[in-house]
Amino acid sequence: MIEILNSVELARARETGALVADILQTLRRRSTVGTNLLDLDRWAAELIAEAGGRSCYVDYAPPFGRGPFGHHLCTAVNDAVLHGMPHDRALADGDLLTLDLAVLRDGVAADAAISVVVGSSRPAESLALIDVTERALAAGIAAAGPGVRLGDVSHAIGTVLAGAGYPVNTEFGGHGIGSTMHQDPHVANTGRPGRGYRLRPGLLLALEPWVMADTDELVTDADGWTLRSATGCRTAHSEHTIAITDDGAEILTLPRDAVA
C-alpha cells in the first residue's frame, strides 16, 4: 500500500517526526561509556510514553524476524547494523552505536536513525562510515521531489556509497511510511535513474543508507533479529523521514532546535 497524506495528516507527521528526532538526540547525549543498551531502551519507552506516542517496534513481527521485537528502540553496536535488539551490554569507549527509532502518534508514524561514536576515541574507519551514510542520505533527499522517479533517489544514494568504495546491500533499504511504519514503496540503496514509482506530493519516505566496511553480506544473531556484517567489520546507518512536497522534499525528523 502507498499512502498519500493530506495537509492535516502532514501536520501530524511533522510533530511525530520532531518527536522522534528529539528523543534520538536525548538518547545520543545519554550514550556514554558504561551506558547499558537496556537503559537506552527503557529511556526511549519513557520518553515516547510521556509524549503520548507508542513505539512501532514493540509489536513488530515481520516475516524475516523472530517476532514480536518486544523493545522500543533498535540499538546496533560495531558490527551490528540493522534491527539491533537491546540486551545487557555496557557501551565502551570507541564503540560505534546506531540508534534507530520509529514512533506512531496521532495516527502517523516517523522513523529515523543516527550512528555515533561513544566516548573520546575517534576511530577513522568509524567516522568514515558515519560520514558516507550521512552524505548518501543528503544526496537521496536532494534528489527527491514531485515527479521524480524512485530510481533517481536510489541512484543518488548508491552513487555516494559505491563512490566511497563500499559494497551496497539491497536486501534492506528505505520504505514508504504513514499510518504504519513500513509501507510501499521499497527504496533500495542503489538503483537505476529514470525507473520506478513517480513520487507525488503527500508521500512520506524513510530513506536509510547503511553500509558495512568490507562486505555486503549480513548474518543474523541468535536473537532472530540483530543483523551483523558477515565479516565482523564495522557498520553505520543514517535515516530520515521525508515528505514529498509541491516543490521538493521536507525533512520531518530534524530536532526542534535544528529547525528553530
Residue 220 lies in a domain: yes
In this prediction, residues 168-196 reach a mean pLDDT of 97
Is 105 a residue whose pLDDT tops 70? yes
In this prediction, residues 170-197 reach a mean pLDDT of 97
Can you give the pTM of this predicted structure? 0.96
Residue 134 lies in a domain: yes
pLDDT band for position 63 (cuts 50, 70, 90): confident
Is 260 a residue whose pLDDT tops 70? no
pLDDT band for position 258 (cuts 50, 70, 90): low
Residue 1 lies in a domain: no
Residue 239 lies in a domain: yes
In this prediction, residues 176-198 reach a mean pLDDT of 97
Is 68 a residue whose pLDDT tops 90? yes
CATH number, domain with residue 72 = 3.90.230.10
In this prediction, residues 94-107 reach a mean pLDDT of 98
In this prediction, residues 91-108 reach a mean pLDDT of 98
HEC states along the chain? Answer: CCCCCCHHHHHHHHHHHHHHHHHHHHHHHHCCCCCEHHHHHHHHHHHHHHCCCEECCCCCCCCCCCCCCCCCCEEEECCEEECCCCCCCECCCCCEEEEEEEEEECCEEEEEEEEEECCCCCCHHHHHHHHHHHHHHHHHHHHCCCCCEHHHHHHHHHHHHHHCCCCCCCCCCEEECCCCCCEEEEECCCCCCCCCCECCCCCEEEECCEEECCCCCEEECCCCCCEEECCCCCEEECEEEEEEECCEEEECCCCHHHHC
Please give the tally of structural domains in the chain. 1
Residue 2 lies in a domain: no
In this prediction, residues 243-250 reach a mean pLDDT of 97
pLDDT band for position 153 (cuts 50, 70, 90): very high
Looking at the chain, the whole-number percentage of residues with pLDDT higher than 90 is 95
- Which of 56-70, 98-112, 153-167, 198-212 has the lowest average pLDDT? 56-70
Question: What's the confidence (pLDDT) of residue 259?
Answer: 46
Is 257 a residue whose pLDDT tops 80? no
Residue 136 lies in a domain: yes
Domain assignment of residue 77, given as a range: 7-259
In this prediction, residues 59-77 reach a mean pLDDT of 93
Residue 252 lies in a domain: yes
Question: What's the confidence (pLDDT) of residue 65?
Answer: 84
